[in-house]
Amino acid sequence: MPLKEYREKRDFKRSPEPRGEERPGARRRTKGRTRFFCVQKHLATQLHYDFRLEHNGVLLSWAVPKGPSLDSSVKRLAMHVEDHPIDYGTFEGVIPEGYGAGIVMLWDHGTWEPQVDDIDAAIEKGDLKFTLDGYKLKGSWVLVRTRGTPGGGGAGGPAPSQSWLLIKHRDDWSGPLDISTFAPNSVKSGGGFRDILSQEAPDVWLSNRGNSSSASIQTLRRLIERVEKLEPLTEPEEATEKQTPGTTRSARTSTPQRKARKP
Ligand code: MN
């Protein structure tokens, strides 16, 4: 049961994440049609990017702390995590508490093609070459498992390492562009974390006050603070101000944030 670990970690009465349906025919249906991939930008305890490849009815998943890089000389750490349901691939929203509490943004999606004959064997071996056809990520990539921690194994030999590297191959789609900064927003809703949060929790977002001490309200308040740091508001009239030396700092750090909190 590939989604067992996914479900055990989550309380679906408290999380808006999809429980995921079993798809008994998925293994066969994968053949001859395109495979889905997505990257979800996840503002949790730490900001990271969840890289997911559809395979055998689930999404194989890696958490990439710094996100994918288009620079072929850059190797990005990618921690192999539990399989996610296919439905998760369109999920975007606020997880108010519990496992993964924070904001999930659908940062990229599209299709992927393995560049190997046997995906399972490639995963087992720790070397999966593939191509992506998304909005932001395209071309040839590889996920390669790093060697296990020395001395980390038991009598049966070292357990396979959970840490992999996500690397872009040199091609027409590689280059020095910092894609996470250049294209920070959602491919689903078009906006940033700020927009997802304000849609999901408008009351807390707008007032940022109230007497509730529930865990989720506390989490939301902390999220608001983090989003305001990560995605500072810039307003059209300040774009001209910014060209005048000396006004940039005050315009960016005080005014927009206070405006955003007004009910
Ligand atoms: Mn995550």
Residue 238 belongs to a domain: yes
pLDDT at 199: 87
Strands 47-55 and 58-64: antiparallel
CA of 148 to the centre of ligand 1 (A): 22
Locus of tokens 């304000």: 198
* Tokens representing residue 12 in the block: 């679906």
Residue 217 Cα to ligand 1 midpoint, Å, equals 20
Q: Does any domain span residue 95?
A: yes
Question: Which amino acid is present at 245?
Answer: P
Give percent above pLDDT 90 in the chain. Answer: 60
**125 CA from centroid of ligand 1 (Å):** 24
The verdict on residue 258 lying in a domain is: no
The closest of 105, 102, 258 to 195, measured between CA atoms, is 105
* Cα 150 to ligand 1 centre (Å): 27
Q: How far is the CA of 103 from the centre of ligand 1 (A)?
A: 9
- Inside any domain, residue 262: no
Cα 49 to ligand 1 centre (Å):
7
Token pair in block for residue 85: 């349901």
Is 22 domain-assigned? Answer: no
3-state class (DSSP) for residue 61: strand
Mean pLDDT of the chain: 83
Residue 148 predicted with pLDDT over 70: no
- Transcribe 26-57 into DSSP letters: HHHHTTTSPEEEEEEEEESSSEEEEEEEEETT
Going from the Cα of 104 to the center of ligand 1, the distance in angstroms, rounded, reads 8
Total domain count, the chain: 1
Residue 198: which pLDDT band, with cuts at 50, 70 and 90? Answer: confident
Q: Rounded to the nearest whole angstrom, what is the distance from the C-alpha of residue 45 to the centroid of ligand 1?
A: 9
Statement: residue 53 has pLDDT above 70: yes
- Reported as a single tens digit per residue, the pLDDT across 1-41 is 589 999 999 999 888 899 987 665 555 555 567 999 999 99
Segments forming the whole domain that contains residue 49: 4-16+33-150+159-253
∠ CA 188-194-198, rounded to 5°: 90
What does the pLDDT read at residue 30? Answer: 52
CA distance linking residue 205 with residue 257, whole number of Å: 12
Helices (H) and strands (E) in the chain, counts: 10, 9
Ligand 1 mean position to 42 CA, how many Å?
Answer: 5
Cα angle 27-32-35, degrees, rounded to a multiple of 5:
70
Secondary structure letter of residue 211 according to DSSP:
S
What lies within 8 Å, CB to CB, of 27 at 6+ separation is: 56, 57
Does a structural domain hold residue 122? yes
- Taking the centre of ligand 1 as the mean of its atom positions, its distance from the CA of residue 83, in whole angstroms, is 12
Ligand 1 center to residue 99 CA distance, Å? 9
Top pLDDT among 51 and 96 is at 51
Q: Once rounded to an integer, what is the mean pLDDT over residues 208-222?
A: 66
What's the 66 CA to ligand 1 centre distance in angstroms?
12
Q: What is the pLDDT of residues 114-131, one digit of tens each?
A: 999 999 999 999 999 999
Confidence of residue 263 (pLDDT cuts 50, 70, 90): very low
Cβ pair 7, 99 in contact under 8 A: no
Q: How far is the CA of 130 from the centre of ligand 1 (A)?
A: 22
57 contacts 125 by C-beta, under 8 angstroms: no
Amino acid at 135: Y
pTM (predicted TM-score) = 0.81
pLDDT at 97: 82
Is the predicted pLDDT of residue 179 greater than 80, yes or no? yes
Q: What span, in angstroms and rounded, lies between the C-alpha atoms of 105 and 108?
A: 9
Residue 208 confidence (pLDDT): 55
What's the pLDDT band for 153 if we cut at 50, 70, 90? very low
Residue 79 pLDDT > 60, yes or no? yes
**pLDDT recorded at residue 96:** 83
CA of 40 to the centre of ligand 1 (A): 7
Rounded to an integer, the average pLDDT of 70-99 is 95
Parallel/antiparallel/unpaired status of strands 75-85 and 163-168? antiparallel
254 CA distance to ligand 1 middle (Å): 31
Residue 9 within a domain: yes
In a domain, 263, yes or no: no
Residue with the larger pLDDT of the pair 123 and 98: 123
Amino acid identity at 15: S
